């Protein structure tokens, strides 16, 4: 697989309230990555209009809002953002089958946005789950939530790279695996607890990699994106 094919797997997480920074960064990364991820921080500051502005840079948009509410509310929210033309968006798998099914139904028969179910956040480990009363290893909880989500009709699963191999075995090839917590060897872990290098994550079965600070905080974000893609294709 060429470095271009690997670069298409990369979604850069642009987590900021600074619209100008987001637009400048998206422009710098045009043609070097597969798209950009916009999350709650950006959406809270700029809403649908901000998403539309970033979309006009030509990137596919992964809208990572992690909807989690009663089914009717989530369905209404999904319908409200579908017109933005996003490539992917997220709901929390822990919202349960009825909520997930409502989200998928609200999206309708269109191919996009892909509905992704978030399993266990990459900032959490076994101790964190136990503290909130989920007395199962992270891996078991991820698989459990992923099975519920797949049965409820999602297009993909979001998990840390540590669970990707087990998820691919459990889910088969008919769901996308979208993986945050990706850190090249030269990058710091920051607040992520379950991380992996880009190449190892792809080998384990990841379809899309969400990479933020190693790119966004680099002195040259474009060069950082190229370096990551080159490292993934060098094996």
CATH (domain of 200): 3.20.20.70
**Would residue 193 show up in a list of annotated catalytic residues for this protein?**
no
**How far is the C-alpha of 166 from the C-alpha of 141, rounded, in Å?**
12
- 213: domain range? 3-233
Helices (H), the chain: 3-7, 19-28, 40-55, 71-82, 97-107, 126-131, 138-151, 164-171, 198-204, 213-216, 221-233
The SS3 call for residue 232 is helix
Q: What is the pTM for the complete model shown?
A: 0.91
Reported as a single tens digit per residue, the pLDDT across 8-67 is: 999 999 999 999 999 999 999 999 999 999 999 999 999 999 999 999 999 999 999 999
Helix, strand, coil share of the chain (percent; to 5): 50, 15, 35
Residues in the chain: 235
- Point out the catalytic residue in the list 9, 37, 66, 150: 66
Where is average pLDDT lowest: 43-57, 101-115, 131-145, 218-232? 131-145
pLDDT at 191 over 80: no
């309230």: which residue's tokens?
Answer: 17
The tally of domains found in the chain comes to 1
Residues with Cβ within 8 Å of residue 97, at least 6 apart in sequence: 148, 151, 152
More confident residue, 7 or 176: 176
pLDDT value, residue 188: 59
């Amino acid at each position: 697989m060429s470095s271009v094919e690997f670069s298409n797997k990369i979604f850069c997480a642009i987590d900021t309230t600074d619209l100008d920074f987001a637009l400048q960064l998206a422009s710098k990364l045009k043609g070097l990555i597969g798209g950009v991820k916009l999350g709650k921080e950006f959406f809270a500051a700029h809403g649908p209009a901000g998403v539309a502005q970033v979309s006009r840079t030509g990137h596919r948009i992964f809208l990572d809002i992690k909807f989690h509410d009663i089914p009717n509310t989530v369905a209404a929210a999904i319908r409200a953002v579908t017109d933005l033309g996003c490539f992917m968006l997220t709901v929390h798998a822990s919202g349960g089958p009825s909520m997930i099914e409502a989200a998928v139904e609200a999206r309708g028969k269109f191919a996009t946005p892909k509905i992704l179910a978030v399993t266990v956040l990459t900032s959490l480990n076994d101790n964190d789950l136990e503290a909130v009363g989920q007395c199962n290893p992270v891996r078991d909880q991820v698989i459990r939530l992923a099975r519920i989500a797949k049965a409820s009709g999602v297009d993909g699963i979001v998990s840390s790279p540590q669970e990707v191999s087990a998820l691919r075995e459990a889910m088969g090839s008919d769901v996308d695996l979208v993986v945050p917590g990706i850190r090249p060897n030269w990058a710091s872990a920051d607040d992520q607890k379950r991380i992996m290098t880009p190449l190892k994550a792809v080998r384990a079965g990841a379809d899309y990699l969400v990479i933020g600070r190693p790119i966004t905080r680099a002195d040259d974000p474009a060069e950082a994106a190229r370096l990551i893609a080159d490292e993934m294709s060098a094996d």
